[in-house]
Structures are given as C-alpha cells and as structure tokens.
C-alpha cells in the first residue's frame, strides 16, 4: 500500500466530526506520523545483499522498520557518534572526576577536574575572574612571572592573583603582594577576598582558593577546595564584591 493510500485510509477511519474533535485530531496526528515513517521506508533505496557472517559475528542491529514500530530498539548514544566525546585521564580517581564544592552554598563555585565553574548567579566580574584563572591552571611557578606582562609562561603568587583580578576587570596592571595589601577595601568580600602580605598572596573566589602553593600536582596557579591559614595576612576585597 502506498503512503498516499495509507493517508486516505487514516482520514477515512478517523473522521472529523464536531463531537470528540480533540481525540480525532490526535488520532490523525498519530496516523500522519506512521504514514511519514512508512513513506521514508518505501522511498529508501534497496540495501545491498548482506554478506554471510560467521557464527561468532555479532548480531546486526534492529531494522528501520523495527525501530519505527518500537523506538526503544534505537541503539544507545555513544561518544563520537551521536554523543559528546569527553576526554578522561586514566590516572584520575573517581573522586577527582566528579564535581565538588566546598559547601552546599548556592553561591559557591564548583570544581570539576581542576577547573572552576562559576555559579550562574555570580556577578560578571566574578565570572570573568574565574574564567581568566582557568586559562592559566597548571602553568609553572616562576618568581616574578606575570608582572612584566599579564601573559607569561609561568606565574608567581601575586602574578596569578593579578591575572584573575584582571580577568574580572578589577585591576589595570599586575600588582605585587605588597601592593595587594593596600588594594581594594578592607575585610573579606562576598565573592572575592584577597589575602596578602610581604611574602605571599592568594585569593578566595566564589568559595574556592586560588593559590600557587604546592600540592600533589606541583606548584603554580590552581584551584583548591581546602582552606588554609590566613594568620599574618592583610584581608582585602574589591568594593561591591
């Protein structure tokens, strides 16, 4: 039976009277969907003769007709075909792959395999600082790095904090840790807090610590979930944040 003949039968069986019009329209829609599928199957070119397979060969997948009759027979999505390929490092632990935040605070950023994801409701300056910091994760620690220019092969503590602040449009040039002691407004901020003294500086941005201290990955700019001692540091924040 042709697709047009099937369509005629569908309309003939359903009818379009006044009473029960909603149910009949739905039935017509279902019939049209089936007609469309059958029309595609009839119009498809014939398949080449299948070659014999060995007894150990994997069984072939469902045919187009079987899929049209039962969509549950569709093959599962797979990365690289109809899914999204996500690279994974074989040496990552299960705990490192999943997203973490320091608390259940909705204003806290999420740490996903070393990369910070800004809270959706964060101010644009905060999102800009996080995005900028993410671009230099894993750069080596280089004393004075990030001061002659924001863009460097490596960064020291104040260079990395300056780079993040610059990404948020909060400073016009790199600042030393001594200069950060007098930058902004005193005390902690809601979104961004900078801790500085003559020897070191780091920042808390949306609940994550941005620091260059060493960990199992080495030294250099990266995000940390854990807090650290703030004794002996001057506490500053950008006004309004």
48-95 pLDDT, tens per residue?
444 444 444 444 555 555 544 554 444 443 333 333 333 334 444 544
pLDDT at residue number 107:
75
Q: Which band of pLDDT confidence, cut at 50, 70 and 90, is reported for residue 217?
A: low
Q: Which band of pLDDT confidence, cut at 50, 70 and 90, is reported for residue 2?
A: very low
Is 68 within the bounds of a domain? yes
- The CA distances from residue 182 to 79, 124, 196, 234, 235, in Å, are 50, 24, 9, 8, 9
Q: Domain check: are 168 and 69 in the same one?
A: no
pLDDT at residue number 75:
45
Q: Domain check: are 17 and 130 in the same one?
A: no
Is 182 within the bounds of a domain? yes
pLDDT single digits (tens) 126-149: 999 999 999 999 999 999 999 999
Measured CA to CA, the distance from residue 162 to residue 169 in angstroms comes to 10
CB atoms within 10 A of CB 176: 17
Is 119 within the bounds of a domain? yes
pLDDT at residue number 62:
56
Is 57 within the bounds of a domain? yes
In the three-class reduction of DSSP (H, G, I as helix; E, B as strand; rest coil), residue 50 is classed as coil
The number of domains in the chain is: 2
pLDDT at residue number 215:
72
70 φ/ψ angles, rounded to the nearest 5 degrees: -145, 95
In the three-class reduction of DSSP (H, G, I as helix; E, B as strand; rest coil), residue 11 is classed as helix
pLDDT at residue number 105:
72
pLDDT at residue number 119:
94
Closest to 154 in 3D by CA, of 107, 69, 78, 218: 218
The mean of the pLDDT values for the chain is: 74
The DSSP secondary structure of 19-30, one letter per residue, reads TTHHHHHHHHHH
Q: Which band of pLDDT confidence, cut at 50, 70 and 90, is reported for residue 15?
A: very low
Q: Domain check: are 135 and 39 in the same one?
A: no
Is 86 within the bounds of a domain? no
Is 22 within the bounds of a domain? yes
pLDDT at residue number 195:
98
Look up the pTM and report it: 0.60
Q: Domain check: are 40 and 127 in the same one?
A: no
pLDDT at residue number 104:
64
Is 67 within the bounds of a domain? yes
- Identify whether the C-beta of residue 143 lies closer than 8 Å to the C-beta of residue 128: no
The DSSP secondary structure of 102-162, one letter per residue, reads SSS-TTS-EEETTEEE--TTS-HHHHHHHHHHHTTTTPPB-TTTTTS-S--SSB-HHHHHH
Least confident of 12-26, 29-43, 170-184: 12-26
Least confident of 74-83, 118-127, 197-206: 74-83
Q: Domain check: are 103 and 207 in the same one?
A: yes
Least confident of 99-113, 164-178, 223-237: 99-113
Domain that holds residue 60: 3-73
For the chain, what is the radius of gyration of the CA atoms?
30
Q: Domain check: are 130 and 65 in the same one?
A: no
CATH number for the domain spanning 104: value is 3.90.1720.10
CB atoms within 10 A of CB 180: 25
């Amino acid at each position: 039976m042709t697709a047009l003949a099937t369509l005629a039968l569908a309309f003939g069986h359903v009818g379009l009277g006044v009473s029960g019009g909603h149910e009949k329209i739905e039935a017509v829609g279902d019939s049209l969907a089936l007609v469309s599928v059958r029309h595609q199957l009839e119009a498809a070119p014939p398949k080449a003769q299948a070659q014999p397979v060995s007894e150990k060969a994997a069984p072939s997948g469902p045919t187009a007709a079987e899929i049209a009759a039962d969509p549950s027979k569709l093959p599962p999505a797979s990365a690289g075909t109809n899914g999204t390929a996500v690279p994974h490092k074989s040496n990552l632990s299960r705990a490192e792959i999943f997203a973490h935040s320091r608390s259940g605070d909705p204003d806290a950023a999420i740490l996903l395999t070393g990369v910070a994801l800004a809270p959706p409701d964060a101010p644009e300056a905060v999102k800009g600082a996080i995005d900028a910091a993410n671009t230099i994760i894993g750069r080596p620690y280089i004393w004075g790095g990030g001061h002659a220019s924001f863009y460097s092969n490596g960064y020291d503590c104040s260079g990395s904090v300056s780079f993040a602040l610059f990404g948020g449009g909060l400073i016009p040039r790199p600042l030393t840790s001594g200069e950060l002691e007098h930058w902004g407004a005193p005390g902690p901020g809601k979104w961004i807090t900078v801790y500085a003294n003559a020897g070191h500086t780091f920042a808390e941005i949306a609940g994550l610590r941005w620091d260059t201290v060493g960990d199992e990955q080495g030294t250099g700019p990266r995000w940390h979930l854990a807090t650290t001692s703030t004794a002996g540091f001057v506490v500053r924040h950008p006004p309004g944040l």
